[in-house]
Structure formats: structure tokens, C-alpha cells
Amino acid sequence: MATELVAARQMVRLAASKLDAGHDDATTYCAMAKRFATDVGFEVCNQALQLHGGYGYIREYPLERLLRDARVHQILEGTNEIMRVIIARRMLQDDATDLVR
């Protein structure tokens, strides 16, 4: 879980640096980072819930809120399905080969 979180953070930082620098592919990288980070965040919370069992649903434990927050971020600011469409459109463009190099 820790490895996945570090990878997600790095992707968000890469997207932010591209956005700050005004790169043409910043939108695509932001869509990738949003999709990846929110999916990883939800999956990590879900795995933590498995570890905690029924206690993960009790409001006294922070995991209950983390799980709800992680799930809602998959929907807010464009669903992850829309992020996939944005990424796919970029990949289908002629110069998309630069994206995966």
C-alpha cells in the first residue's frame, strides 16, 4: 500500500510540474494523475478496511471518513471515466507517441 501511495504522489507531482511549466501535455498528465491517485487512494483505503474489519465502518475510527473521502474524489472534478477519455484522446492523436516515451 505504501508503494502505491508513493507512486501516486510522484505522478501528481509530475503532473503539477508540467502544469506549472506550461507543457502542452499537462492536461493529459493531470488527467492521468487524478485517475491514478484517486483509484490508488480508494484501493488503499479498501485494503485498510479489510485489515480493520468491522471497525473500519465505525465513525470513531478515521478510516471510515478516509474511505468516503477517497471514493468521492473519484467522482468530483470529472469522473475517472472522463479522465480515461481525455487520456485516450491524447493517445490517439498523431503525436501521442511522445507521451509514452
pTM of the model: 0.81
Digit-coded pLDDT (tens) for 37-57: 999 999 999 999 999 888 777
3-state secondary structure 23-45: CCCHHHHHHHHHHHHHHHHHHHH
Active-site hit among 60, 64, 77, 81:
77
CB 51 within 8 A of CB 66: no
CB 28 within 8 A of CB 87: yes
Domains with residue ranges and CATH for the chain: 2-98 (1.20.140.10)
Q: Indicate if the pLDDT at residue 96 is higher than 60.
A: no
Which pLDDT belongs to residue 9? Answer: 97
Grid look-up 465502518 returns 57
Cα gap 94→74, rounded to integer Å: 29
Residue 90 pLDDT greater than 90, yes or no: no
Query: In the annotation, is 77 catalytic?
Result: yes
CA distance 101 to 88: 16
